[in-house]
Structure 1
Amino acid sequence: MTLEEQFSRLIQILQLIEREPWMWDAADLEAKFEVSRATIERDIAILRQWGQIKRKRGKFGLAEMKFLPTSFTPPEALALRLAGTSFAGQAGAAYKDTLASALRKIDLALPGRIAAEIKKAHQRVAVSQPVVRDFSAQVYQDLQEATVRHHPVEITYYSRSRQEPTRRRVDPYGLTFKIGAWYLVAYCHLRKGIRTFALDRIKWMRVDEGLRFKYPSDFDLNEWLAKGWQLQAGGEPTEVVVRFDPEVASWIAGGHWHPTQRIEKRPDGSILFRVTVTGYEEMLYWVLSFGAQAEVLEPAPLRAAVAEAAIKMSERYGVAEAPVMA
């Protein structure tokens, strides 16, 4: 064995552990590189001596690195603080303490004059926070670890549609934060397909650390989520067409609502808003939020759902026609 071969193997070991932390043990590396256990142990000893990796329950992960101090301009420091504060407020318990600690370190590293400028500027910028559904930070952390290590998970899930708990076995593919809540994207063995699970509705869970599932090589979390309007990314893509009145047309046209959106301007000032999504049923409440200034043209089932909701609202308020405002 040459020094070049050993150095190349050390780099490859680091790359493997970086991509899949806490998933490789000495036996796995021995089989991967087709060398003896003694050779792998010598490599590990070198990497540990360099402070690059650490071992926990026989598995290897990267050691925490202490980064060299850096400098920020006032706009950069303000941007970091605003972004951190905003995300901490939205993400809830998952990153709240971690972000607070990171922001304190940034504040301590700033020169006094810049720190004073940032504090003054921050007090003059308000970022509104949406309502965030509460959940267990421990559930989030356990699921994140299971996702990285490819461990299957058993959960008791309270479905909003069924209004009753069900026991599921899932293979976690990723986590996403949308519309004020954290969701797990996972393959559900009960439903035989990829589903999303709100973390606040997981009432019990157990990570099966003794097993590992095969993560699908053709699955990309962001690409999968981009197919749907919000979270329902399964099913066949459907084109949705909504006409918006002139009063809201410019606001709709100026927003980025979906990667597939197309805007068609009409002579009367209205627009046709087109998107191609899976799970178009999720668009119902979005369309309703614009009241009579939005009209679904396609598909027919979504148009019927909006009409049914409008009829029920009229019945609830006891009006058959629009009341005259004094």
Structure 2
Amino acid sequence: MTERAKKDATKGLRLNMIIDLINKRTPYGGVTVNELMDKFEVAERQVYRDLNTIANDLRVPLVKQERHIEGIKKTCYCLEVGYLPSLSPEKATVLFLSLLQQKGSALTGHLNELKDALVSTLFKYHYNPKELAVEKLQNRIHLVEETLVEPEQVGEMFSKLVQALKVCYRVKIKYFVTHSQKETERVVEPYGLICKRQNWYLVGQCLERNAIRVFRVDQIRDVFPYTSETFQYPTDFDLKEYMAHSWGVMNDGEVCQIRLKFNHRVAHRVKNLIYHPSQVLEEELPDGSIIVGFRVCGITEMKTWLVQWGDTVEVLEPGWLREDMCKLAEGILRVYQGELGDFSNRKVEA
């Protein structure tokens, strides 16, 4: 390596270290020129040259502010964009990938801006982007997720609801009700938001029903903030406690003891995942199957989950849930028997 190359490498390392130091000291008022001189053992003129390079060539916005340190007025340098935690390239990459996972959700509207800010702040100035190769990595990650048809529009509704939560004001919503296939208008006092498989739900006091209701955000067609109509958040309401026994997002108030038997083909999957906080592995049977217990409410949502397991799960208790699953299975069978019958007729006619 030539002497020039060694100097460039040393300078590049020092610049990165200066940025990291300013970043860490920003919450505490920044760092002085003298502190930089002592830390990196360079002359005052070199410190100013380095700060100029960081601000103008690397385009890292710096702010100068006056502080009194031990009674003496001194100039300190901080990051204009605020403090960023010190992250390794590995952790920064994980953070980047977690943003990718939100593609197609209600957060999509701001996602690209966040990704660009993350790349420019964490990667471009702190690490070598060629070594991290975030664009190449992004092209080699495939996410299998449900996505919204109009994520930007849903994201706009979501942002309005978040603001209402912060300030505690009422909102009027236009809400599409699935079972009636009708659009209704409700005035709601927002209590909280729930996320289930990247789908967001609003929990709030519905003034029309005079009760707590759950609204799926992607079924909200419009939000009208009543910024002048604030409400007092109830001191006796706790969102986590309210949802503690719910299997999904619905709290029907009736907590039931559920016992399920999973056969040997899926037992390992069930043992490796916690589907609900109340989940208990009650017994492992000689044939490899397992019996798992839950204490939950919102059984309607649980039924759709049980259907996904097909013939690998059996409801042991309660009896009424066994009967409900039998009826559900019979209904599904009738649908497919009808299709098979139609298909057979068409085949004969052909």
TM-score (norm 1): 0.71
* Structure 1 residue corresponding to 2:210, chosen from 192, 199, 204: 192
Cα distance in 2 between the residues matched to 1:312 and 1:266: 31
For residues 220 and 133 of structure 1, do their structure 2 counterparts lie closer, same or farther at Cα, with a shift above 3 Å needed?
Answer: farther
The yes-or-no answer on 1:161 pairing with 2:179 is: yes
Q: Partner of 1:131: helix, strand, or coil?
A: coil
Pairs within 5 Å for 1:113-128: 115-128=131-144
2:123 is matched with: 107
Give the match for residue 224 of structure 2: 206
CA distance in 2, matches of 1:272, 1:263: 6
Q: Secondary structure at the match of 2:229?
A: coil
Q: C-alpha separation between the residues in 2 aligned to 1:244 and 1:103?
A: 43
- What secondary structure sits across from 1:167 in the alignment? strand
Q: 1:69 to 1:269 in 2, by over 3 A?
A: closer
Superposed displacement of residue 124, structure 1 = 4.2
Q: Distance in 1 between matches of 2:149 and 2:131?
A: 33
Instruction: Give 1:49-68 correspondences, 5 Å limit.
Output: 66-68=81-83
CA distance in 2 between partners of 1:113 and 1:197 (Å)? 42
Say if 1:230 and 1:94 are closer, same or farther in 2 by CA, change over 3 A: farther
Q: Tell me the distance in 2 between the aligned counterparts of 1:277 and 1:234.
A: 10
**Residue 203 of structure 2: SS of its match in structure 1?**
strand
Q: Identify the match of residue 130 of structure 1 among 128, 136, 146.
A: 146
Query: 1:91, CA displacement in angstroms?
Result: 4.1
What is the CA-CA distance between 1:245 and the residue it aligns to?
1.0
Per the alignment, residue 108 of structure 2 pairs with 93
1:289 maps to: 308
Q: Aligned letter for 1:278?
A: C
Unpaired segments of 5 or more residues in structure 2? Answer: 1-64, 66-79, 339-350
The equivalent position to 1:238 in structure 2, one of 241, 245, 256, is 256
Is the 1:262–1:274 contact (alpha carbons within 8 Å) kept by the matching residues of 2? yes
Q: 1:84 to 1:203 in 2, by over 3 A?
A: closer
Match of 1:173 among 191, 203, 210: 191
1:276, 1:221 → 2: CA distance? 18
Q: Does the Cα contact within 8 Å between 1:89 and 1:96 map onto a contact in 2?
A: no
Do 2:264 and 2:288's aligned partners in 1 also have CA atoms closer than 8 Å?
yes
Give the secondary structure class of the aligned counterpart of 2:288: coil
- For 1:119-170, what per-residue CA distance to the aligned partner results, in whole angstroms no more than 9, with x for missing partners? 5555544443333354432211111111111101112211111221222111
Q: Whole-Å Cα distance in 2 between the matches of residues 113 and 103 of structure 1?
A: 12
Give distance in 2, aligned partners of 1:300 and 1:109: 62
Distance in 1 (alpha carbons) for counterparts of 2:275 and 2:307: 15
User: Bigger CA drift: 276-285 or 106-115?
Assistant: 106-115
- Identical-pair percentage: 30
User: What does 1:312-323 align with in structure 2 at a 5 Å threshold?
Assistant: 312-318=331-337
Match of 1:78 among 76, 87, 93: 93
Instruction: State the structure with more CA Rg.
Output: 2
Output one character per residue of 1:283-306: Cα deviation in whole Å (capped at 9) or x when no partner: 111101111111112233332221
1:30-51 Cα deviation digits (max 9, x unpaired):
xxxxxxxxxxxxxxxxxxxx9x
Cα distance, 1:184 vs structure 2 = 0.9
- Residue type at the aligned position of 1:270: S
- Opposite residue 320 of structure 2, the aligned amino acid is P
Q: Paired residue for 2:239, among 195, 209, 221? A: 221
Structure 1: gaps (5+ residues): 1-49, 51-64, 320-326
Write the letter of the residue equivalent to 2:101.
Answer: S
Question: Aligned pair count?
Answer: 257
- Is the 8 Å Cα contact of residues 77 and 118 (structure 1) preserved in structure 2? no
Distance 1:104 1:74, change over 3 A: closer
What is the CA-CA distance between 1:87 and the residue it aligns to?
2.6
User: How many angstroms apart in 2 are the aligned matches of 1:163 and 1:305?
Assistant: 25
User: CA separation of 1:119/1:202 partners in 2, compared to 1, >3 Å: closer, same or farther?
Assistant: closer
**Match of 1:207, SS?**
strand
